Structure formats: structure tokens, C-alpha cells
Amino acid sequence: MKTVKTRRMWRQAGERPESGRAARLGRALVAAAGSLRGRAGWAAGSAAVLVLGVVAAWLFLGGEKSGPPDPRARQYKEFDACLLTDEKGILAGTPAAPVWEGMQQASLDTRARVNYVPVMGEQSAQNARPFFNSLMQRQCEVVLAVGAPQVEVTEAGAKQYPKVHFVVVDGVEAGNVTVAKSGDGLKETVAEAIRRAVKASVG
């Protein structure tokens, strides 16, 4: 399973708080080194300098976070599109690869979160059911399926979740299930299905 992690950076005008701490630690390093004499003193001083240096680096590199979040960080909507695949996942050349590309494109266009779950073990509808159920527990707004067992279990389960939109590759269209045909247009079909679902979710 994939999870989405948002990269956070912090900025603050002028001198950062940790830079003052680093300066004070730097002066402490010099004082510690100067106060120690002799071979024993040198060994003890080296250890002290090393410890203080690590602490200074930790502070300088952001051991303490302050200030507002970076406005450039990507903000995702509370909308999840989830893909059910075979055990090979979204590797290049697999049937799920163009589906995933379409999902990523839709994410860029709509800021929806996208993720996928590969069905491990026996490739059968019975074995795929717990994986399908895990997506339902996550409350995915759109569930996509590629691969015969994945499509079969999704088509059967879709009837129990009328408020969820489902997209199956080369399946049967019915009710809240949309069919995306494999081929050159698959990526765009998937992307457009997610775009429509996101638009409908906001009224």
C-alpha cells in the first residue's frame, strides 16, 4: 500500500532561532578546546567537541521546527481514488501501469489522493475480496480495478456501495460501475472518470 506523505519545509525571515543556538555552541566548542591541556585533556576535549558538534548540526539542520508551513507544499483534497491490481502492481508493462498513469494525471489536475493495493497470493475473486474490503474500509471515493479477479470482485461488491464510484477495466457497465477499455485511450479514460467524480463530490 502506498501512503501519501507531504513534504514540509519551514521558512522564517531574518536569522533562524537555531542559528543563534549554533553560534553559542560554536563558542562553547572553542572554550572547551582551549581549557583542556595535555594528552588526557586532548582526548576528553575531542569527545566533548564531537558531542557538541552533533548537537549543533542537529539544531542547524532543523532539529526544532518553527514557523509556518511552506506554501509551496502540495495540499491534497479529502478525496481518495484507489486501485486494485494483481500481485505485480503498477510496474511498467503491466495492465495496471496505464491505469496508474491516468490516476496520477487526475491527481495533478484535481489534487485528489491516489493509491493502489496489489492482491497478493492466489489470483482469484475469493482471495481478492479481503483486499477489496480494505479499500471500502478506507472509504475510497473512487475504486478502480484491473485484472479478471479484481474486476469480478469489484463488480460484485459495487452493489453494496451505491455512493462509491467504480471503474473497471474491460468489465461490465452497470449502475455505479464505469467501464474503461484497455488500449491507447485507457489512461485518459481513467483520468477523466476521476475528474468527473471529484467535480461531482464538490457539487
Q: 91-126 pLDDT, tens per residue?
A: 999 999 999 999 999 999 999 999 999 999 999 999
**How far from 167 is each of 4, 9, 67, 81, 170, CA to CA, in Å?**
22, 36, 42, 10, 9
Q: Is the model more confident about 146 or about 34? A: 146
If one counts every other C-beta atom within 10 angstroms of the C-beta of residue 127, the result is 14
% of the chain at pLDDT higher than 70: 63
pLDDT band of 59, cuts 50, 70, 90: very low
Q: What is the mean pLDDT of the chain?
A: 77
Cβ pair 178, 165 in contact under 8 A:
yes
The confidence score (pLDDT) of residue 31 equals 53
**How far from 172 is each of 97, 155, 179, CA to CA, in Å?**
21, 8, 6
The confidence score (pLDDT) of residue 147 equals 97
Range scoring the smallest mean pLDDT among 51-55, 110-114, 178-182? 51-55
pLDDT band of 1, cuts 50, 70, 90: very low
What cell does 117 get?
Answer: 493495493
For residue 39, pLDDT over 80 is answered with no
Mean per-residue pLDDT for 177-192? Answer: 96
For residue 36, pLDDT over 70 is answered with no
Mean per-residue pLDDT for 141-167? Answer: 97
Residue carrying the nine cell digits 477499455 = 181
DSSP 174: B
Q: What distance in Å separates the CA atoms of residue 98 and residue 96, rounded to the nearest whole number?
A: 6
